[in-house]
Structure 1
């Protein structure tokens, strides 16, 4: 398909602005300035690519501050999407760079292009593709198999992706054996959690390779890394009624001269957590829509008389 933009009569920009239905004359003038300025630069190049984007950023930087320039790149982004939708251009050049860098947002691409060395900035921005290493195909097939069996396999998939990313960032390991890869991955961090993760990864890979080749021997798991992790877990503590009473008294007397409702807020949160068994996230997400005063008994007038059955809470 032959690109139909830039068009000499610039009717494309006019039709695009009309479709936006901009109510503010200031906004319309801003869009016109940005888009016509971009087309001025695009007409001096043979192809709509990275060179055009960098050239426009260089020219615009002479008139706008850096923050203003980056903000107005969103106008160009939306215009590119319109051009692709109307088949005026074959592809969005910013989207193409974003996909090449394997990132989800366009703004980091614009920041890299606006830097002094765009090529270096884009190279630093590039992220390894999921399961793009020498073991990527095997790992991806294993994840797909486990999910087809009904497992969510979220945390395990994340572990495999971290290992795959490590292999891509260390190309010298691509030709080594799996055991050498795992040894380098284990030595990458010295934390107990990482050691347990590596042991788990060794077990998973053993199962994967045994499924491909039944002659592959199973590996006896090492329970020591997981035991070291367990030692770091906090032991549960059961608070006595006196402990709870003391916490509530401290909450009601919490010093807060600039926020008078803070002591009562903290007290209410502790009462809900204690009586209703709410988690911290559930407490933080509560709002007025979660309390039902019509289908529950009348609430007490004093916090001291609060009972867990007096108000019906629906945690989100």
Structure 2
């Protein structure tokens, strides 16, 4: 049977400090001093909760400066994690406060507890629950789907969380169309650059997510999307002969080039060559360095044939 903490003989502290890779004797002494002082406070209380943490901070503030005290809290964090792993305690009060505030680090919790008004500081520290808005489930499942497909998908969830936090802080937007939600979210950005950054990305990602879940009366998506054709690429002109042959082969009679007979292939090639030459002739060329000269070509059957005339 596992002995619960706090234990009367304080064997947990001795075993924990002995298991640490600490070579300096002063460091071991500091660990024991901090942990014994914390257990003294725990033994005077009935439950391991927020009141125990506040009492230890008030008692230790007379001994150490604020910066030193915050540094000592890291020792308490690691010791409580060790006790929780060994089933010596049922819960970690610091971890419980961190999860209640929806944050990932313990140091902000200790800073709030050491302040003049811990309750108000904890209230200001609390963040909305991740993906807890009306669109939270859709965004969370979309992130999971993309990561399951093999994408890292690290920058898009940051935009999703910002947008989700904004929706939770503005519940009146739950019945508005998606375009109104995003416009209101972009209007809260501090600068013009921030207002436009990430907006097309989150629109595109939300469109794909919402379309997968089917029509929703709360989500209105235009037929051409929210981007309104801004990302549509103009039609490209093919300037190479090979490209013209490929295009003609796909468009001529709706068949593949390799399936056409010899006459069709010849007609396709001639049409492609004419189109390529016409495109080449339409291009504007800068005057060459040999203007004003005459180039001749020798032949056994004919005389000298001028290839370009003199430019005056």
TM above 0.5: yes
**Deviation for aligned residue 1:150:** 4.4
Does the 8 Å CA contact 1:185/1:198 hold for their aligned counterparts?
Answer: no
Aligned counterpart, 2:192: 191
Does the 8 Å CA contact 1:133/1:168 hold for their aligned counterparts?
Answer: yes
Distance 1:129 1:2, change over 3 A: farther
Aligned counterpart, 1:73: 73
Aligned counterpart, 1:15: 15
**Deviation for aligned residue 1:146:** 3.3
Q: How does 1:1-316 map to 2 (within 5 A)?
A: 4-20=4-20, 22-189=22-189, 191-192=192-193, 194-195=195-196, 197-213=198-214, 217-220=222-225, 221-222=227-228
Q: More displaced, 43-52 or 194-203?
A: 194-203
| SS in structure 2 of the partner of residue 131 of structure 1 | coil
**Deviation for aligned residue 1:182:** 2.4
Aligned counterpart, 1:242: none
Partners of 1:208 and 1:23 in 2: how far apart? 54
Partners of 2:49 and 2:144 in 1: how far apart? 36
**Deviation for aligned residue 1:105:** 2.0
* Count of aligned positions: 226
Partners of 1:120 and 1:57 in 2: how far apart? 17
Provide, for residues 27-76 of structure 1, a one-character-per-residue CA deviation record: whole Å limited to 9, x for no partner. Answer: 23322221111111111111111110111001110111111111111221
**Deviation for aligned residue 1:115:** 0.8
Distance 1:71 1:218, change over 3 A: same
Does the 8 Å CA contact 2:130/2:164 hold for their aligned counterparts?
Answer: yes
Does the 8 Å CA contact 2:187/2:195 hold for their aligned counterparts?
Answer: no
Q: More displaced, 147-156 or 123-132?
A: 147-156
Provide, for residues 195-236 of structure 1, a one-character-per-residue CA deviation record: whole Å limited to 9, x for no partner. Answer: 36334433443333333226965234236699xxxxxxxxxx
Partners of 2:26 and 2:43 in 1: how far apart? 26
Larger Rg: 2
**Deviation for aligned residue 1:188:** 1.5
Partners of 1:73 and 1:177 in 2: how far apart? 47
CA RMSD of aligned residues (A): 2.9
Question: Can you give the 5+ residue segments of structure 2 that lack an aligned partner in the other structure?
Answer: 233-312
Partners of 2:146 and 2:16 in 1: how far apart? 47
Partners of 1:181 and 1:224 in 2: how far apart? 20
| SS in structure 1 of the partner of residue 198 of structure 2 | helix
Partners of 2:93 and 2:63 in 1: how far apart? 24
Partners of 1:3 and 1:53 in 2: how far apart? 22
Partners of 2:61 and 2:228 in 1: how far apart? 59
**Deviation for aligned residue 1:160:** 2.1
TM-score for both structures, normalised by structure 2: 0.63
Does the 8 Å CA contact 2:112/2:122 hold for their aligned counterparts?
Answer: yes
Distance 1:224 1:62, change over 3 A: same
Partners of 2:10 and 2:141 in 1: how far apart? 50
Partners of 2:211 and 2:21 in 1: how far apart? 62
Aligned counterpart, 2:274: none
Distance 1:48 1:211, change over 3 A: same
**Deviation for aligned residue 1:173:** 2.8
Aligned counterpart, 1:293: none
Question: Can you give the 5+ residue segments of structure 1 that lack an aligned partner in the other structure?
Answer: 227-316
